């Protein structure tokens, strides 16, 4: 067993496991690189160490200095472990969409955590990137790690992850599959593997279906830390310098549900408790392996541990609430029985449109006028519709995270009659609270519960996206 003077010396050197259960029936073996077994719990330990050492060498980080970074958590953990060991103050800017457990871990290692909203365009002064940039300019001796644009990030993988995989597979690897966040992992590992194999290794990006990297529309998705989302208000879409597009041969685009359910299978069937981006990567690797033969060898990288997501991906109620899970809830020890299961929201939604078609989703864009809003609301039972961020029509529907609030016909009528508003005025002036939401697989009693005494309608979520409205009158009980 190796003995180390410092945990920092133990970064990297993670094991490779064959996915024999998930890969059963496939001719090509699929191996998983378990980066969650790294000292800080993720692949980002490698980039963190590499960036800190490069900053010290370049004179950007000196004794008494402060390390600052915008991070979904994992890079911050790596930077905090390495930084605190080497005597620096560390400040991590975390997005409000990131799992709260990640911030707790950062604080436990001695970082100061600043939380910033993601629901604003990148140019907005409150955006995470602007917040950390301001801090770096204000604090003397501060260095912004800037993993998105720092060449030491992909370089960590050229020097460590790539050579490890080449060695662990005895040079037999033919396909490398990984998610793309900053792009550091796929660019550095992929570049090394292509160089070592004389260009024979195929590099596949595993991307959330609506992410822009793989050709999606840039609308929000639920898998954290990978892909490229575009806020409708963003003026210039800049991709990270750490992502070298030429290294990626192709993308596999994975819907959120497939990512989340694959991660759960990985834990239950292989004993590998990994995060949602690992689910995306494994789902992609299984698709890749389907077309390959016994002479091929697929490696998929698992970036972090599932322990940080126990309240989300590994919580059945959370999955059901966002419409990712539809199997009926069962009492402990009881087998699910179709007869005993309560009807779900899907059964109501399915038949509520004309001729039993799925129910219509009346939507008002945030750039609509009150007159335009009224035109939508006139046809809606109860006269209430969600207001969503103004944006061009997107093929993947409206993410629950894009809903700003609601508008009601009664409120608009009142304001117009009272002379407080004009038909050409903005709907946002009369924005009401967001409608309560209910997952499509939840029982009708849950829908009744979210309506409470005050609401007429609830927004039904399917795979985290708005699928329709259910009205009080449809819910029985
Ligand atoms: N998965 C997780 C959980 C991560 O934290 C990250 C890094 N943000 C990635 C995937 C993507 O890695 P990279 O930034 O090297 O592309």
Pocket test for ligand 1, best of 44, 178, 186 (most atoms within 8 A of CB): 44
> What atom in ligand 1 is closest to the CA of residue 181?
16
User: Closest residue (by CA) to atom 12 of ligand 1?
Assistant: 181
Q: Could you read off the pLDDT of 264-308 as tens digits, one per residue?
A: 999 999 999 999 999 999 999 999 999 999 999 999 999 999 998
CB 262 within 8 A of CB 179: no
The 3-state DSSP class for residue 88 equals: coil
> What atom in ligand 1 is closest to the CA of residue 47?
15
Distance 184 CA to ligand 1 centre (A): 8
Element counts in the chain: helices (H) and strands (E): 14, 16
Q: Could you read off the pLDDT of 110-165 as tens digits, one per residue?
A: 999 999 987 788 888 999 989 999 999 999 999 999 999 999 999 999 999 999 99
> What atom in ligand 1 is closest to the CA of residue 185?
15
Q: Please report which helix (H) or strand (E) contains residue 55, including its range.
A: helix 44-57
72 lines ligand 1 (CB under 6 A): yes
pLDDT value for 131: 94
Distance 279 CA to ligand 1 centre (A): 13
The 3-state DSSP class for residue 244 equals: coil
188 lines ligand 1 (CB under 6 A): no
Q: What is the Cα–Cα distance from 403 to 386, expressed in whole angstroms?
A: 7
181 lines ligand 1 (CB under 6 A): yes
Does the annotation count 102 as an active-site position?
Answer: no
Say if residue 109's pLDDT is above 90: yes
pLDDT value for 426: 96
Catalytic residue, candidates 33, 44, 102, 194: 44
95 lines ligand 1 (CB under 6 A): no
Distance 182 CA to ligand 1 centre (A): 7
CA 187 to chain centroid, in Å, comes to: 20
Task: Find all residues with CB under 8 Å of 172, minimum gap 6, and list them.
Answer: 297
pLDDT value for 256: 97
Q: What is the Cα–Cα distance from 48 to 50, expressed in whole angstroms?
A: 5
The 3-state DSSP class for residue 68 equals: strand
Distance 458 CA to ligand 1 centre (A): 35
Torsion of CA 98, 104, 110, 113, to 10 degrees: 40
Task: Find all residues with CB under 8 Å of 473, minimum gap 6, and list them.
Answer: 381
74 lines ligand 1 (CB under 6 A): yes
pLDDT value for 236: 85
Structure tokens at 93: 């800017």
pLDDT value for 380: 85
Say if residue 381 is exposed, middle or buried (CB neighbours under 10 Å; 0-12, 13-18, 19+): middle
pLDDT value for 394: 67
Distance 456 CA to ligand 1 centre (A): 41
Question: How would residue 356 be classed by pLDDT, with cut points 50, 70 and 90?
Answer: very low
185 lines ligand 1 (CB under 6 A): yes
- Specify the DSSP class assigned to residue 266: I
Distance 54 CA to ligand 1 centre (A): 20
279 lines ligand 1 (CB under 6 A): no
Structure tokens at 114: 């600043």
Q: What is the Cα–Cα distance from 192 to 178, expressed in whole angstroms?
A: 14
Say if residue 338's pLDDT is above 70: no
Which domains are present in the chain?
1-314 (3.40.50.1100), 345-474 (3.10.580.10)
242 lines ligand 1 (CB under 6 A): no
pLDDT value for 358: 52
Say if residue 81's pLDDT is above 50: yes
User: Closest residue (by CA) to atom 11 of ligand 1?
Assistant: 181
Lowest mean pLDDT among 11-20, 60-69, 349-358: 349-358
226 lines ligand 1 (CB under 6 A): yes
Structure tokens at 258: 């497939």
Distance 306 CA to ligand 1 centre (A): 14
Give the count of alpha carbons within 13 A of 356, CB side only.
1
Q: Could you read off the pLDDT of 359-391 as tens digits, one per residue?
A: 568 889 999 999 999 999 988 888 999 998 876
Average pLDDT over residues 75-101: 92
352 lines ligand 1 (CB under 6 A): no
> What atom in ligand 1 is closest to the CA of residue 278?
1
């Amino acid at each position: 067993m190796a003995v180390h003077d410092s945990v920092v010396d133990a970064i990297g050197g993670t094991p490779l496991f064959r996915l024999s259960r998930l890969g059963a029936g496939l001719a090509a073996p699929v191996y998983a690189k378990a980066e969650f077994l790294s000292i800080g719990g993720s692949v980002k330990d490698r980039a963190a160490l590499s960036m800190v050492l490069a900053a010290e060498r370049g004179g950007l980080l000196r004794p008494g200095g402060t390390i600052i970074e915008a991070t979904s958590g994992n890079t911050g953990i790596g930077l905090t472990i390495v930084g605190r060991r080497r005597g620096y103050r560390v400040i991590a800017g975390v997005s409000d969409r990131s799992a709260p457990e990640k911030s707790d871990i950062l604080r436990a290692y001695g970082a100061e955590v600043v939380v910033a909203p993601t629901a604003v365009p990148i140019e907005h002064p409150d955006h995470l990137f602007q917040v950390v940039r301001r801090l770096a300019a204000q604090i003397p001796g501060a260095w912004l790690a800037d993993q998105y644009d720092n060449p030491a990030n992909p370089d960590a993988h050229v020097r460590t992850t790539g050579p490890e995989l080449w060695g662990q597979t005895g040079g037999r690897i033919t396909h490398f599959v990984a998610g793309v966040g900053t792009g550091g992992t796929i660019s550095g590992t992929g570049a090394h593997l292509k160089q070592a194999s004389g260009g024979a290794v195929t590099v596949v990006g595993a991307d959330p279906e609506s992410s822009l990297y793989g050709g999606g529309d840039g609308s929000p998705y639920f898998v954290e830390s990978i892909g490229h989302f575009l806020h409708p208000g963003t003026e210039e879409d800049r991709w990270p310098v750490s992502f070298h597009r030429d290294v990626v041969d192709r993308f596999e685009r994975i819907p959120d549900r497939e990512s989340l359910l694959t991660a759960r299978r990985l834990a239950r069937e292989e004993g590998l408790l990994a995060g949602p981006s690992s689910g995306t990567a494994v789902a992609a690797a299984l698709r890749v392996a389907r077309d390959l033969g016994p002479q091929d060898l697929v490696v998929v990288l698992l970036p972090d541990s599932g322990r940080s997501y126990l309240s989300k991906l590994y919580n059945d109620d959370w999955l059901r609430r966002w419409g990712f899970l539809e199997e009926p809830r069962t009492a402990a020890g009881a087998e699910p029985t179709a007869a005993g299961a309560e009807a779900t929201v899907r059964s109501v939604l399915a038949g509520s449109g004309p001729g039993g078609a799925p129910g219509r989703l009346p939507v008002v864009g945030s750039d609509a006028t009150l007159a335009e809003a009224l035109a939508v609301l006139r046809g809606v039972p109860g006269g209430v519709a969600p207001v969503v961020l103004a944006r061009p029509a997107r093929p993947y529907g409206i993410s629950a995270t894009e809903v700003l609030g609601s508008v009601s016909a009664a409120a608009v009528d009142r304001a117009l009659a009272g002379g407080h508003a004009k038909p050409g005025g903005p709907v946002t002036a009369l924005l009401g609270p967001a409608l309560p939401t209910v997952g499509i697989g939840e029982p009708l009693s849950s829908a009744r519960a979210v309506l409470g005494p005050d609401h007429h309608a609830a927004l039904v979520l399917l795979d985290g996206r708005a699928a329709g409205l259910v009205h009080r009158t449809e819910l029985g009980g």
